[in-house]
Every structure is written in C-alpha cells, then in structure tokens.
Amino acid sequence: MAAELSPIDKAKFVAAKRAVDFVENGMKLGLGTGSTAAWMVRCLAERIREEGLRVTGVPTSSRTAELARSLGIPITSLDEARWLDLTIDGADEFDTELNLIKGGGAALLQEKIVATASDQMIVITDAAKSVTQLGAFPLPVEVIPFGWQTSKALIEELLVSMDVLNRDCSLRMNGDAALITDEGNYIVDLHLKRIGNPRQLAMVLNQIPGVVENGLFIDICDIVIIGHGDGRVVVRDINTGDVQDDRVDFVPSDNIFADMGE
C-alpha cells in the first residue's frame, strides 16, 4: 500500500513515522491538525495497538479529535491534562531558526495554545515547506466576527509600517460564507510574500482589537523532522544544533492504511 502513495505523501508519512519514535510511555501529547499530522495520529495509533503504548492525546481541532477517537487513541482536554510532555504538529512554512507559519487548516489558535503548553514541540513536514524567509504562504490571523472588517482595516494599516513585500488581506471563505473556526471566529489571510521581521509582526498583530491570535509561531518549535519521498528523514534540533540523517522503511501496514477513508 505504501508504494501507492505519492512522493509528497511518502514524505509526510516518513516524517510522521519518525516523530512518533519520540513518544514514550505515559506521555501526554498534543496532537496537531492537518494532512501531515493526520499521518502522525495514524502512526501513533499503530504503536498503541502493536506495542501497548500508553499515552493520552490532547487534540488541536475537532477533526483531529474525531480521527484520534476513531483509531482508539485516548484523548482528553488541555484543561484536564494541564501540561503536556510533547506536541507533534505540521507547519505551512518554517525558516532556518524554526520559526513557523501555521494555520492553513484554520486551527492556529488551539495549535498555538497546545504547543506553548508543552515541554517540547516537534514539527513534521516535507522539504517544500523550508524557506529562507517566511511569508510566501499566507499568514493567517484569527479575528472575532464582531467588527471583523474594522480589524482587517487596522491590520492593513499596520502593515504599511512593517517589513513585508505585499499587504493584501482577504477573509478566508468556506464556499459562499466566511469560514468559521472551532472557536467560532474568522480567519483573515495576509498575503505578504516576505516577512522581514516575524517576531515584531507577531507581537504587534496581537495588539489589534479583535485579533485573537496569529499564525506566526516564534521560538516554539524545538525539533523539525523533514521527510523525503525516498524515505529519507532529516531531524534538526534547534536547541542542540544537531542534524541527523535517517531513513524510514516503507513497510505496508494494514493498521495504518486500512483506516483511510479519504
């Protein structure tokens, strides 16, 4: 079955497979959202089934919660768990300092809360997400529905003084209506093309009335695992400076692939 995966899905799979090697018995885990994180949830479920691994997951979205439940992963709320050992999630972009843009799946608020409530964050991704400077991927900003157009106008005004290449902003849609996040908010996507100072932008965006959170994850990620379509994985630890080249074999597993209804 693994041979039928596209190269990009193979890259996501091997990154996810390598990431769950970091999971130990008794851990409380943040479970990310998105296509790469979904592979991680499946790989984690396989370890639980085959090894009797005992963990508790805190999902970062209703989608991840549903998937985890369907695969038999015990889950709880962050309020119940209080603090987590590890969060594993994907990213839309990451730079050389492991700063991230996240929120392509509209789950950035819960993702950031869960990640910052963890001792460690591992990001699983493919090589295409690696950039010299963040900003090619639209930066999501979560805003409350009340007065969202005012919040958007204030964001556009703020961007005039920021080191960005472009300042176009758009409301994220779901068909003919505004997309609604799990927390009942809207997403405004900032099409900046290049962000010269992500740290500064992350701080000032959150000072705008109506802005709940933004998709810049600064100094949160500890390890990035980059998967490749040939099974190679690169593990980079920002804290130690270590970079490891590894390989994950494609072993067909009914436990992982038979569940897929997508």
Q: How confident is the model over 131-173, as pLDDT tens digits? A: 999 999 999 999 999 999 999 999 999 999 999 999 999 999 9
Nearest to 40 by CA among 70, 75, 66, 67: 67
CA pair distance 240, 120, nearest whole angstrom:
13
Q: At what angle do helices 148-159 and 198-205 cross, to 10 degrees?
A: 150
Is 10 a known ligand-binding residue? no
Q: Check pLDDT > 70 for residue 253.
A: no
pTM: 0.94
Phi, psi of 94 (to 5 degrees): -145, 145
Q: Check pLDDT > 60 for residue 259.
A: no
Q: Check pLDDT > 60 for residue 252.
A: no
What Å distances lie between residue 113 and 10, 72, 158, CA to CA? 29, 24, 25
Tokens (6 digits) for 61? 């979205």
What Å distances lie between residue 90 and 16, 73, 109, 143, CA to CA? 9, 19, 14, 22
Grouping H, G, I as helix, E, B as strand and the rest as coil, residue 48 is helix
Domains and CATH numbers, the chain: 2-128+219-257 (3.40.50.1360), 139-214 (3.30.70.260)
Residue 262: per-residue pLDDT: 38
Position 62, amino acid: S
Residue 148: per-residue pLDDT: 98
**Partners of residue 213 on adjacent β-strands:** 142
Q: Check pLDDT > 50 for residue 128.
A: yes
CA pair distance 163, 19, nearest whole angstrom:
34
CA pair distance 197, 188, nearest whole angstrom:
19
Name the active-site residue from 46, 93, 111, 142. 111
Residue 42: per-residue pLDDT: 97
Q: What is the residue whose two structure tokens read 């994180």?
A: 37
Q: Are 184 and 106 a contacting pair, CB within 8 Å? A: no
Q: Are 246 and 228 a contacting pair, CB within 8 Å? A: no
Q: Dmax of the chain from CA atoms?
A: 54
Q: Check pLDDT > 90 for residue 250.
A: no
Q: How confident is the model at residue 261 (pLDDT cuts 50, 70, 90)?
A: very low
Q: What is the mean pLDDT of residues 204-227?
A: 98
Q: What is the mean pLDDT of residues 19-47?
A: 97
Element (DSSP H or E) covering residue 211 = strand 211-214
Is 90 a known ligand-binding residue? yes
| 120: region left, alpha or beta (phi > 0 left; psi from -120 to 50 alpha) | beta
CA pair distance 2, 140, nearest whole angstrom:
33
Residue 12: per-residue pLDDT: 96
Residue 74: per-residue pLDDT: 98
The DSSP code for 243 is: E
Is 62 a known ligand-binding residue? no
Q: Check pLDDT > 80 for residue 2.
A: no
Tokens (6 digits) for 6? 């596209």
Q: How confident is the model at residue 107 (pLDDT cuts 50, 70, 90)?
A: very high
Residue 249: per-residue pLDDT: 82
Q: Check pLDDT > 70 for residue 260.
A: no
156 flagged as catalytic = no
Tokens (6 digits) for 104? 């392509």
Q: What is the mean pLDDT of residues 1-25?
A: 89
Is 89 a known ligand-binding residue? yes
Residue 4: per-residue pLDDT: 80
Is 56 a known ligand-binding residue? no
Q: Check pLDDT > 80 for residue 3.
A: no
Is 92 a known ligand-binding residue? yes
Q: How confident is the model at residue 251 (pLDDT cuts 50, 70, 90)?
A: low
